[in-house]
Copies of this chain bind each other. A is one copy, B any other.
Amino acid sequence: MLGTLCGVDHHGNRYGRSEAARAAVLEAADDLLVEHGFAGLTIEKIAARAGVAKQTIYRWWPSKVDILLEAFGDDMAEDLTPADHGYLATDLREHLARLADFLTTSDAGAVYRALVGQAQHDPQLATRLRDGHLAAQHARDRLPFERAIARRELVENLDVDLAVERLVGVVHYRVLVTGEPVTREFTDALVDALVLELT
């Protein structure tokens, strides 16, 4: 016969996971987290809210943090990819302001904070979070600096990683630890001080 190219050789709806159930669970988890916080986020409530059987959740996600990780998805990549305006200061100012906004006001940011919080109690989650999302975000955070170096705006041997951390680290500190508001003035001052120092 012909080379049955479509579904390889699977049969039955063995691979037929319900997309509706998956989406309902992710949305329910997201909603519950925002509404009732991480403590109010139980598998039972997610199941009830999503109109889904508990078993369906356990079939696909090992724990509630896995649901959050999936719900978190690529939100960070979508929201936090720095634009290129041709000037380091402009790029960084905008990027850092968007980071602050993401962390403090968006739903995805709430999920992110919950995950980082939980990661303090769960080294495995910490590893997955870092490998899965933080590394990629760090690469995106580097972009303005790398473009500035390519533009000769910055010296070639700059420690970009350190520079990145000196910006996003401080914003994270306010969000995760001190809880102080992260204003546009603050992020701008942060960027300006760094740019002044580096150029």
Q: B residues within 8 A CB of A171? A: 169
Instruction: A113 to B189: give the CA distance in the assembly, Å.
Output: 28
Q: B residues within 8 A CB of A159? A: 189
Tallying the copies of this chain within the complex gives 4
Instruction: A138 to B177: give the CA distance in the assembly, Å.
Output: 11
Known: A169-B173, A172-B176. 4 other contacts (CB 8 A): A38-B120, A116-B176, A120-B176, A130-B179
- 29 CB contacts below 8 A, A to B, read A37-B122, A38-B121, A39-B121, A116-B176, A116-B177, A117-B119, A117-B120, A117-B121, A118-B120, A118-B121, A120-B120, A120-B176, A127-B179, A130-B179, A138-B178, A162-B190, A162-B193, A165-B170, A165-B173, A165-B178, A166-B170, A166-B190, A168-B173, A169-B169, A169-B173, A169-B174, A172-B172, A176-B176, A176-B177
